[in-house]
Amino acid sequence: MGALSVEGLNLASDRAHRNRSTAELVERVLARGEGSLASNGAVAVFTGDRTGRSPKDKYLEDTPAVHGKIDWGKVNQPISPEQFDTTLRIATEHLNKQDEVFVFEGFAGADIKHRLGVRVVTHLAWHALFAETLFIKPGSASDAGDGSWTHDWTVINAGTHKLTAEEQAELGVSSPIYIAQSLEKRTVVILGTEYAGEMKKSIFYAMNFDMPEHGVFPMHCSCNISKADPSSVALFFGLSGTGKTTLSADPDRALIGDDEHGWGPHGVFNFEGGCYAKVVGLTREKEPQIFDAIKFGSVLENTIVDPDSRVPDYENVSVTENTRVTYPVDFIPDAKIPSVAGHPKHVVFLTADAFGVMPPISKLTPEQAMYYFINGYTSKLAGTEAGVTEPVPNFSPCFGGPFMPRRPSEYASMLSERIRAHGAKVWLLNTGWTGGPYGVGNRFSLKYTRAMVAAILNGWLDGVETREHPTLGLHMPVSIPEVPDEVLDPRNTWKDKAAYDAMAAKLARLFRENDTKFTMPDAVRAAGPRG
């Protein structure tokens, strides 16, 4: 390859590996001691002291061109152009000192009319392998274009360099980790953390900013489609650990994608070329598609591998509960490639309720759909972010607050317009706790949750009788095939009914406190809990 010039980086041909094959990248990972080969062929790596995202250490460059479009606050923390340039300088100086640099060039967006060209620069071979797995590689099966590549966004990953005390003082921070993003320069800089999910989510953030200006609604959701009926498309919204990947991996349906999608004028499309699945407790019996997708070309993060047999131990969470694997979408049997489909018939919101109060399934009115989407209630699960060691009740607007640069009302309006235009039905599924809160109750049975999803998708629930929850106002089906009737009303699963009522009232109050942050129509606000 010839020399590349990227943001001041010295990428001469004798040190830069550009779009190497999977086999070549795996060879470099092993030769450099960055990881080992598991018995299933996956590369097992560790991400250092950060095993989840670091949202408190992420910053957005504030410029006149973007200022009025951003929902500034704890998620979107502003920095000056000078601070961004300082970050960029520190990162490039670090990478320019490395003997080897790896460059990946690919795409985000399976729809060729709505995609961004992505360049990732890193000196860890396994980061390049991760990028090759997660994004769309030119000329691959997931690339619906002619194999050519155009450049839009650059990710400069210098995550092995932690900010020195002097650099922290220069940037005005007290953390060795610093992630900076410029929407105007279309550049991401990562310092101090080797957690690869930062690359993935930074490009999702970019899509969440860029796509609305092109008539595309960006969504933090998984998506699948019936193998027998291509008009039966379903979306599953939810934060990390709520079940997006698990529930969209269905042997009777073709996977579109497991995490990030756009809903455009002609239907939905995957932003990515791969999946990023949690593997804690993974078994072939429970999740056969995901289990069998872990093979050569996959990357296992923070998963303990037996030193003799090289067999991964998915029950071992000694490093983190946020053990993960990344693999190309086409590693899932019968996945739809390229990952595009028509307009959805069903939209499912997933929440992992740590209070044990939410019904396992609710049918939402259009007003309730907007209320629960804007509030985005769930629980942060252990390991998904730095410092989270057990489920924490959390409101995340649009079920993706950490990745949304624009105001929640803008995304909610886009969803509302599409639901009404295409007649999609909306459901709320609780994949969290029942019989009590976290520490007392148990998580809902995956077997029952799958049966509920099947009942939604095959139309069995379209006209089902429902009962209204007295506090939350949600409409709970009274019967679903293969699911015990008593678990459909969460109050029935608690031994202490008074304790349930008190916890339900508490959750309702939290909803009402949270919804004051947002401007919404009176009918939508009235569709919330009675707290």
14-24+51-214 homologous superfamily: Phosphoenolpyruvate Carboxykinase, domain 1 (3.40.449.10)
Catalytic residue among 20, 50, 53, 425: 53
Contact 263, 270 (CB under 8 A): no
CB 390 within 8 A of CB 249: no
**What contacts 379, CB < 8 A, 6 or more positions away?**
351, 352, 353, 354, 391, 392, 393, 394, 432, 438
Tell me if 232 sits within 8 A of 193, measured CB to CB: no
The domains spanning 14-24+51-214 and 227-238+345-526 adopt the same CATH topology: no
Is 201 labeled as catalytic in the residue annotation? Answer: yes
Could you give phi then psi for residue 336, rounded to 5 degrees?
Answer: -85, 115
Catalytic residue chosen out of the listed positions 28, 50, 220, 343:
220
The active-site residue out of 87, 160, 187, 245 is: 245
Q: What is the DSSP string of 272-285?
A: -SEEEEE-TT--TT
18 SS3 class:
strand
Give the residue from 5, 48, 73, 19 showing the smallest Cα distance to 401.
73
Catalytic residue among 127, 200, 324, 469: 324
Mapped onto helix, strand or coil, the DSSP state of residue 435 is coil
226 is catalytic: no
pLDDT at residue 239 in the model: 86
Cis peptide bond N-terminal to 360, omega within 30: no
The domain locations on the chain are 14-24+51-214, 227-238+345-526
| Structure tokens given for 240 | 């990390």
Residue 327 dihedral angles phi and psi, to the nearest 5°: -155, 155
In a structure prediction context, what are the per-residue pLDDT tens digits for the chain, which is 531 residues long? 345 667 788 887 788 999 999 999 999 999 999 999 999 999 999 999 999 999 999 999 999 999 999 999 999 999 999 999 999 999 999 999 999 999 999 999 999 999 999 999 999 999 999 999 999 999 888 998 888 899 999 999 999 999 999 999 999 999 999 999 999 999 999 999 999 999 999 999 999 999 999 999 999 999 999 999 999 999 999 988 889 999 998 989 999 999 999 999 999 999 999 999 999 999 999 999 999 999 999 999 999 999 999 999 999 999 999 999 999 999 999 999 999 999 999 999 999 999 999 999 999 999 999 999 999 998 876 655 666 666 677 899 999 999 999 999 999 999 999 999 999 999 999 999 999 998 899 999 999 999 999 999 999 998 899 999 999 999 999 999 999 999 999 999 999 999 999 999 999 999 999 999 999 999 999 999 986
Task: Assign 3-class secondary structure to 202-216.
Answer: HHHHHHHHHHHHHCC
Of 408, 416, 394, whose CA–CA distance to 527 is shortest?
416
For residue 381, the model assigns a pLDDT of 65
Q: What pLDDT score was predicted for residue 385?
A: 61
Cβ atoms 459, 425 nearer than 8 A: no
Residue 2 region by backbone torsions, left for phi larger than 0, else alpha for psi between -120 and 50, else beta = beta
Q: Compute CA distances 335 → 260, 261, 516, whole Å.
A: 15, 15, 41
Nearest one of 420, 415, 417 to 372, comparing CA atoms: 415
DSSP conformational letter for 323: -
Asked if 324 is an active-site residue, the reply is yes
Task: Determine whether 240 is an active site residue.
Answer: yes
- List 44's β-bridge partners, or say none: 36, 300
Least Cα distance to 271 among 150, 153, 134, 145 occurs for 134
What pLDDT, on the 0 to 100 scale, is given for residue 208? 98
Q: Which of 240, 323, 378, 449 is catalytic?
A: 240
* Helix-then-strand count for the chain, H and E: 12, 30
Amino acid 531: pLDDT: 65
Q: Which residues contact 63 (CB under 8 A, 6 or more apart)?
A: 81, 182, 183, 184
Verify whether residue 259 is a known catalytic residue.
yes
User: For the structural domain made of 227-238+345-526, what CATH number should be given?
Assistant: 3.90.228.20
Residue 228 burial class via C-beta count within 10 angstroms: exposed 0-12, middle 13-18, buried 19 and up:
exposed
CA distance 403 to 413: 17
Could you tell me the two tokens for 120? 């990732």
362 given a catalytic annotation: no
Of the residues 17, 123, 161, 201, only one is catalytic, namely: 201
Residues whose CB is less than 8 angstroms from the CB of residue 178 and which lie 6 or more positions away in sequence, other chains included: 57, 59, 87, 163, 171, 189, 191, 192
Residues in the chain: 531
Cβ–Cβ under 8 Å, residues 69 and 405: yes
Phi-psi label, residue 264: left if phi above 0, alpha if psi -120 to 50, beta otherwise: beta
Judged by DSSP in three states, 434 sits in strand
